[in-house]
Amino acid sequence: MYNILVVDDEPMICKGVASILLSADIAITEIFIAHNGFEALDFIRLEKIDLILTDIQMEQMNGIELIETIFVENPGIPIIVLSAHGEFEYAQKALRFGVKEYIIKPVNPLELIQVTKALLLERETRLRSLTDATFNHKFSFEDMATNRNYILNELVSEGINESEIDEIFTYLGYRFDGPYYCMLVIRLDLTKAGLFENDITSFRDRNLLKYASLNVIEETLEKWESIVFYSSSNTISVVLQFSEEEMNSSTRLNQQTMIAQLLHNHLLTFINMKSVIGISRIKAGIKSWLEIYQEATEAIRWSEIHQDHNVFYIEDFGKHGEAPLKWGGRNAEPIIETPVNQRLQSIGHVISKLDDMIASQIDEDNNGFIHSTIQYIEKNFRQKGLKLQDIADSVYLSPNYLSYLFKKIVGINLWDYVTKLRMEEGKRLILTTDKRRYEISDEIGYESPEHFSKIFKKHFGINPSEIKN
């Protein structure tokens, strides 16, 4: 059963689209209707949405802004754009951000039903087709050991001379114009994976899973300029390319973290592969690959501290000072009892104490981030169009890491906390003032009284008009 969200500032179009879909042979649980981008984001944050149909030209927040925000906050939702003929080229820039299809207005009912069915069916069949193709593949050493992987590993581990760049990339068959690059290093858990989560013990199974993971990653990144390659026994590396135009985009700062989260989710969904992903900063020039590879590798080391998290952006964790030590503390390797190793154990004991001190400092830093976040939210929760990006920017963290920290420390999702403050303030205004519903909804950040009433009933279980009874 599916939940579908229709977004358009023309009520008749929303009702028409909803009516067409409800009359079709589609297993729909509910169709939610939003008349602008801000209302749409509330539904996405509070409901499980399987598919979105959105207009492009809307007041307050247009469809492109909505699509980019969805990509930052929930990148896995497929999107259909409802577009007038003259808007097509403008809408094409959203291709990377979850847009699967375009439907030209006026909407053709048969086309709408066919496209919607096809996308929902694609979600169900993609796992089967991908895993069948992967695990029926005849394993070959050539898949895992090629000149391409060797050369790319040399570039990220040893660097490259400026004079060699053109020759090497001509040989590899790539045209990489950049001029900006980011590195993702994906560490795979090859101990237990696959459809039945079996223990992985054989050489063949491990390498088939690495091949499957590479397929998932390459398919996920088909709309981005990227290079994907094996970088060690259990890691796959990705180089992402960003143009000057993309560097000026409002979503650029979080594209790499959302891409990483999308990769993690797809690996888990399609082949049940657990992973940890480290993300570098974005830097200029192919010569920066050595540095950004080291940053992405360092970012992964923070999984030793945050073992319940899976995406680590170096910019978030640089604020804590030094990265975790590679050994010592709870991750120490057992040491054989010899006179030399006894001395090493003593050193390891000191390092273990340093680990504890670092962990304590990190806890203190994290609590400080969340305290500042709560202060910002309490000051700004009434603001119309408040975004997760705005809140994350206020404490200089990525939305991904802030959301993780907030849930871990406060115990509820960040946006649930924003909604809770809005609802409590709305309730207070109903009980203590004579303000009308539209005045209250406007005061606490909602675009329409009808939308405020829907959220209020979901939160408290009753309508605003019933609260005084």
For residues 190 and 200, the answer to whether their CB atoms sit within 8 Å is yes
Please compute the mean of the pLDDT values over residues 318-339 and round it to a whole number: 45
Assessment of whether the complete model's pTM goes beyond 0.85: no
pLDDT, tens digit (0-9, with 9 covering 90-100), for 187-200: 999 887 655 566 77
pLDDT, tens digit (0-9, with 9 covering 90-100), for 237-259: 999 998 887 787 655 557 788 88
How much is the CA Rg of the chain, to the nearest whole Å? 25
Residue showing tokens 């952006």: 313
Residue 450: closest CA among 45, 33, 57, 60: 33
Q: 20 is written with which tokens?
A: 């067409």
pLDDT, tens digit (0-9, with 9 covering 90-100), for 397-456: 888 889 999 999 999 999 999 999 999 999 999 999 999 999 999 999 998 899 999 999
CA 237 to chain centre: 18
Residue 369: closest CA among 398, 411, 337, 328: 398
Range with lowest mean pLDDT among 76-85, 138-147, 317-326:
138-147
Say if residue 391 is exposed, middle or buried (CB neighbours under 10 Å; 0-12, 13-18, 19+): buried
Residue 348 has pLDDT above 70, yes or no: no
Supply the pLDDT for residue 444. Answer: 94
CB atoms within 10 A of CB 193: 24
Q: 363 is written with which tokens?
A: 């806890």
Across the chain, mean pLDDT equals: 80
Sheet holding 51-55, edge to edge: 28-34, 2-7, 51-55, 79-83, 99-104
